[in-house]
Amino acid sequence: MQTIIMTVGTSLRTNSDRDLPNEQQRPWVKHHDRFPGQRIFSGIDEPLGWMKTAELELISAETNTFWRLDPEPSDRLLLLHSATQSGQECAEVLQAYFRDHIGQRRVDIEPIPDINYELEELGSPLEQMARLLRQRIEQAQTHGSVTLAATGGFKAQTMVMGLIGNALGVPVCYVHEAYKTLVYLPYINTSGQPEPVRYSQSNLPASGRSRDDVIQVQAAKKGHHRPKSWPKVEKILRDLAWVDLVRFDSQAFNAPKNNVKGSPRDLDDGRKALWLHLHDSDESHIAVTIETTGHTPEHLQAAAAELRERLGRIF
């Protein structure tokens, strides 16, 4: 089982949606503009009703990150929110949405002790956050892997997540606004030098195929033009021993841009496959299916996690 520990901010409440048509914008933001000082949410049903009609990528920083991490329904999601009314409200709405609409079976929320936006009060509370985060990581590691998602919340929380993740060798990711993809923080040793990425053992068998024959994507294939990231990604795929074959597949455009997603269908012999969608622009993108050597859901999750992290270090 994977545990995703995610910091929660207030983008769910405050994003303006100015680039969306009026009928797709969050109704409480416009309502709040007309009546300054009034609470943005008129009960939990108001935001949930809108969220059920909106795209995960656009709802909030937290749902955007969740969508790109593509967790299994059995994975645990822990939402850490600031000890403020707005922070708790957003966490409670997100908990209900992930649990009741998306189908995540374990979604917990927990306040970060005494965190608020008063600058003079940040020192001690952030130390408390570091201790709390370390405890929750160590508890979760007894049940499986852990990923820290630091897109939501304010910058000081992101910095604490990065420090604790680096100290414990836990991957820390966030969504880069410009590239709209998951970015993973590098591991830095005590001398200040980056270290090789430390991956957990996936127990995936090695492919018997020659690594020169792994990539079977034709250059002239209609419907795709290779983005500038393709040469680096091609090398990553050849280096992963559990990658058996890579081929063009238009269905893989359903994966998030510059990210990976488990294919909903197994291969004919029962093996698992991944979808990968690389995107520079509408004129420069590619979608491929990656055939793995794995046969179990655990194999698929381990393969997706490793490839997702490797991709997140080249963008």
Predicted confidence (pLDDT) at residue 44 exceeds the cutoff of 70: yes
Could you tell me the domains of the chain?
2-184 (3.40.50.10770), 211-311 (no CATH)
Is residue 155 pLDDT above 60, yes or no? yes
144, 2 in Cβ contact below 8 A?
A: yes
From its phi and psi, is residue 160 left (phi > 0), alpha (psi between -120 and 50) or beta? alpha
Q: Which of 142, 138, 139, 183 is nearest to 164 (CA)?
A: 138
Find the mean pLDDT for residues 205-234: 84
Q: Quote the DSSP letter at residue 227.
A: -
How far apart are the C-alpha atoms of 176 and 257, rounded to whole Å?
12
d(CA 309, CA 268): 28
pLDDT > 70: percent of the chain: 88
* Mean pLDDT, range 261-280, rounded to an integer: 95
Per-residue pLDDT at 255 exceeds 90? yes
What's the rounded Cα separation, in Å, for the pair 102 and 52?
A: 9
Listed range (26-30, 73-77, 145-149, 219-223) with the worst mean pLDDT:
219-223
163-213: pLDDT as tens digits: 999 999 899 999 876 657 888 988 888 777 877 666 555 678 999 999 999
pLDDT tens digits for range 98-111: 999 999 999 999 99
On the question of pLDDT at 81 being above 60, the answer is: yes
- Secondary structure (3-state) at 95: helix
Inter-CA distances, 133 with 10, 41, 75, 94, Å: 20, 29, 18, 20
What local confidence, expressed as pLDDT, does residue 271 receive?
A: 96
pTM for this one? 0.82
Share of the chain above pLDDT 90, in %: 54
Whole-number pLDDT of residue 220? 45
Q: Which two tokens stand for residue 163?
A: 């420090």
pLDDT of residue 188: 86
Listed in sequence order, the residues at least 6 apart from 185 whose beta carbon sits closer than 8 Å to its beta carbon are: 162, 165, 166, 171, 172, 173, 174
Q: What sections of the chain are H helices per DSSP?
A: 11-14, 27-34, 45-51, 56-59, 61-69, 85-96, 123-141, 155-168, 230-239, 297-311
